[in-house]
């Protein structure tokens, strides 16, 4: 294998694929990046067996072939080179790198050891705006449960329909759901549970992109493709809980409040709540809300904010962190909080919009 390309192109590709290559005592090859040069370009690939990512960069190919070297070392070295032409040649299992006055050899491993990254046949594909999809992931990912005993809620439930994509995450204490429009829907509605780590890599992959993201599903895998980058991941086996059952269908009280003002009052109350419980008391009456907290070792706090109330006066106790997370992701200046009582979940939505819902369980006193 022998090729040349710019340091900028090579560096960009390595930044995309480098994150999932990790040291593994049983499989040292998983710490390596596979470099393949052929007529289609220079392809860089890494895998951790759960997920694989490939990025194609432009360059001049003199000799087709492939090699594999430690991903982090290779990426760190390329990052330090000047923005000039880089010449790369494989000699047996080693990689020779030349750029201006720099001459380096990196020891590699046999390419035969590198695991095969599965190919997802593009039978049923969906298109979505990359920026909108990244925002959607960010608005639910914080609510995922990190619980190995319940793998079915340790990922983001992804529902792909004819016109919409729905992302859902829950940890049993709160639930976030975001709906966005698809540019192109598939032939049928499909739902899969995608690991959090996969979506973290997708968000990184979408960092600067404004194009459409292509999503392809197979029986047990999902692929995200954009601008020469392909990310393939397994999906989590299991049945996602029927979360529609816990979305409150009725309420006794609906409160409309300014998000910034309400968030500030909650943050003030959080300084005086009980450590580890994070409880704040909320009381809603006519045209104002009282936010109260107390800690025998620190002190107490009470704030008031102006609200619009429909229905009956009400009160509840929430974990302030969970409430702030929901408010921060509404994407609107006004929030609407719907309550039944202090033992049933509250429903937080963006005033006048239906693309995002956030459910939060109260703290029972």
SS3 243: helix
Assigned CATH for 125-243: 3.10.150.10
Q: Where are the domains of the chain?
A: 2-113, 125-243, 247-360
The C-alpha atoms of residue 195 and residue 152 are separated, in whole angstroms, by 10
* Position 120 pLDDT exceeds 90: no
Structure tokens at 112: 């035969």
Q: Does this model's pTM top 0.75?
A: yes
Q: Which CATH architecture has domain 2-113?
A: Roll (3.10)
The C-alpha atoms of residue 171 and residue 321 are separated, in whole angstroms, by 14
Q: What is the pLDDT of residues 285-329, one digit of tens each?
A: 989 999 999 998 899 999 999 999 999 999 999 999 999 999 999
| Residue 346: partners with Cβ closer than 8 Å, 6 or more residues away | 248, 316, 318, 337, 338, 339, 359, 360, 362
The answer to whether residues 284 and 311 touch, using CB atoms and an 8 Å cutoff, is no
Q: What is the pLDDT of residues 157-197, one digit of tens each?
A: 999 988 999 999 999 999 999 999 999 987 788 999 999 99
* CATH number belonging to the domain at 247-360, selected among 3.40.50.2000, 3.40.50.1820, 3.10.150.10, 3.30.70.240: 3.10.150.10
pLDDT: which is higher, 207 or 51? 51
Tell the burial category of 20 from Cβ atoms under 10 Å away from its Cβ (0-12, 13-18, 19+). buried
- Helix boundaries (H) for the chain: 7-17, 71-80, 130-138, 196-205, 259-270, 320-328
Same-fold call for 2-113 versus 247-360: yes
Q: What are phi and psi of 269, to 5 degrees?
A: -65, -30
Best CA proximity match to 115, nearest among 62, 68, 78, 153: 68
């Amino acid at each position: 294998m022998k090729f040349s390309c710019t340091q900028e192109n090579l560096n960009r590709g390595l930044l995309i694929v480098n994150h999932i290559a990790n040291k593994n005592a049983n499989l040292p090859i998983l710490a390596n990046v596979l470099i393949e040069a052929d007529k289609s370009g220079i392809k860089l690939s890494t895998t951790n067996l759960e997920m694989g990512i490939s990025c194609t960069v432009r360059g001049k190919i003199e000799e087709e072939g492939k090699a594999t070297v430690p991903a982090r070392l290779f990426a760190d070295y390329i990052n330090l080179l000047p923005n000039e032409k880089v010449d790369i040649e494989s000699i047996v299992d080693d990689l020779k790198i030349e750029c201006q006055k720099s001459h380096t050899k990196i020891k590699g491993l046999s390419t035969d050891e590198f695991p095969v990254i599965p190919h997802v046949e593009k039978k049923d594909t969906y298109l979505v705006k990359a920026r909108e999809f990244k925002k959607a992931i960010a608005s639910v990912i914080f609510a995922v449960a990190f619980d190995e005993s319940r793998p079915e809620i340790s990922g983001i439930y992804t529902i792909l329909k004819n016109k919409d994509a729905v992302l859902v995450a829950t940890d049993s204490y709160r639930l976030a759901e975001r709906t966005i429009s698809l540019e192109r829907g598939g032939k049928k509605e499909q739902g899969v549970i995608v690991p959090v780590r996969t979506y973290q890599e997708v968000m990184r992959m979408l960092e600067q992109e404004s194009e459409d993201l292509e999503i392809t599903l197979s029986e047990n895998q999902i692929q995200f493709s954009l601008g020469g980058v392909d990310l393939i991941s397994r999906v989590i086996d299991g049945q996602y809980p029927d979360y529609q059952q816990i979305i409150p269908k009725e309420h006794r009280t609906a409160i409309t409040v300014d998000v910034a003002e309400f968030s500030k009052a909650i943050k003030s109350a959080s300084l005086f709540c009980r450590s580890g419980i994070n409880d704040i008391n909320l009381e809603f009456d006519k045209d104002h809300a009282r936010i109260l907290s107390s800690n025998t070792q620190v002190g107490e706090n009470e704030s008031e904010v102006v609200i619009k109330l429909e229905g009956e006066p009400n009160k509840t106790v929430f974990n302030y962190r969970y409430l702030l997370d929901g408010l921060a992701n509404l994407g609107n200046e006004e929030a609407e909080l719907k309550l039944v009582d202090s033992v049933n979940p509250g429903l937080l939505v963006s005033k006048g919009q239906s693309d995002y819902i956030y459910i939060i369980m109260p703290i029972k006193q």
